Amino acid sequence: MTAKRTLDLLLGSALLILVAPALAVAAAALAVGPPGGLGGALRRETRIGLGGRPFELRSLRTRRLRLDLLSRLPHVVRGQLSLVGPAPLTPEEAALLGPAAGRWRESLRPGLTGLAQVRSRSGMPWDEPALLDAHYTEHHGTGLDLAILTQSAHITLRAALSGLRLPGKAHLSDTDHRLPGYSVAE
């Protein structure tokens, strides 16, 4: 057992125990939701895992407080996902990568979060997430995993707290002031 897998088991199990009550309440709320809703509490998708093996990824149909990601913790404990790794791809996305890119992605378990996910709001060009996933694959380690997990928790907490802002106050980002047609890639 590697240090990465040990971290996944210990931290993944502890997180699952902590969030289980919230996940149960969210699942119950989604299950009794309005008729004609989203089709159940769980979303099921086929993803490509370690060694290129497909698995069924199940997650709650909600983004609130990132419960959809936290509902994937059983996959971490089972070994289908890691806490940190490249994003889990669909078979179609994996086929588009080609065999060379697919090999490096298949050498690690996909993750709940990763370098590309924590850097996604930095205004990077469209193709950089794949480069960040490749960089992570080449340089992964416990220190980098802990830094990414810390950053992910920070982003999630900041997003949760931003919902607590006082009503009536404007909170504009730089993108709200850009001219129509402006692109960060230019």
Interacting residues of 137 by C-beta distance below 8 A, sequence separation 6+:
86, 104, 105, 107, 108
pTM for the structure as a whole = 0.77
- What is the chain's pLDDT, residue by residue, as a tens digit (186 residues)? 799 999 999 999 999 999 999 999 988 888 887 655 556 788 899 999 998 899 999 999 878 667 888 899 999 999 999 999 998 989 998 888 777 777 788 888 999 999 988 887 666 655 578 888 888 988 889 999 999 999 988 887 887 777 655 454 444 444 444 445 545 454
**Cα–Cα dist 102/51, whole Å:** 9
Interacting residues of 50 by C-beta distance below 8 A, sequence separation 6+:
79, 80, 106, 107, 108, 109, 110
Which pLDDT score is estimated for 170?
A: 45
Tokens representing 166 are 């006082």
**Residue ranges of domains in the chain:** 3-29+41-119+129-158
Q: Is-contact 87 116, C-beta < 8 A?
A: yes
Residue 39 per-residue DSSP state: S
Chain mean position to CA 33: 25
